[in-house]
Amino acid sequence: MPAHKLVLLSNHVRSPYLRLAKLIGKQVGGYSRYIDMRKVEEPLPVRLYCGGIHNGINKLQFDDEIANLGLTRTREIVKTICGDLDGIRISRLDWNIDIDIPLLDLALYCRLARAQNCKVEHSRTGPTFYLRCSKTCTIYMYDKHRQLEAKGDPIVKMYKLVGPLSRVEVQYKGSGFPSAPHES
């Protein structure tokens, strides 16, 4: 199951990246500066959020590209931006897998032991079945093909997607993650 998203928190960002964020970044949400590093002159596959308004924490967000980077390249990018891997914390890690089984068939037979918080949400993109909902781990599934159609994704327009496409996602978040290992 490939990683889908990785969010890291850091107290430190190297000065060239802070200057770049101050120069071309903009205020977004709870951060004083945001810059999409994929769109700069020397692109890196990460989004950088600098200066959390409430706590000063910086955030690095890797999206779908994380599945192709590997641990070594991810560490290189983090070290390039933050300078040091000490103090880096994992805030969120998502995995997903696409299965060619109709969503309702999958949801009917899929159960998790000892899951107490389950729910179903309905939206214009179809139902989403949450198999586990907690502060640290959420597991859910939805019809990915229907979601792509509802959002008008160009992939749906360019290619004829055949058969059902159910996506199962696992999100780990919160403070339950260990710090990044020290380099030797």
* Beta carbons of 33 and 21 less than 8 angstroms apart: yes
Instruction: Say whether pLDDT at 62 is over 90.
Output: yes
Instruction: Say whether pLDDT at 138 is over 60.
Output: yes
Q: Place 108 in a pLDDT band, splitting at 50, 70 and 90.
A: confident
Residue 70, Ramachandran bin (φ over 0: left; ψ between -120 and 50: alpha; else beta)? left
Residue ranges covered by each domain of the chain: 3-94, 100-172
Mean pLDDT of the chain: 87
pLDDT of residue 178: 47
Region of poorest pLDDT, from 16-20, 88-92, 162-166, 179-183: 179-183
* Beta carbons of 17 and 48 less than 8 angstroms apart: yes
* Beta carbons of 109 and 99 less than 8 angstroms apart: no
Q: Which residues of 87-123 are buried (b: 16+ CB within 10 A; e: fewer)?
A: ebebbbbbbbeeeebebeebbeeeeeeeeeeeeeeee
Residue (of 49, 59, 64) closest to 88 by Cα position: 59
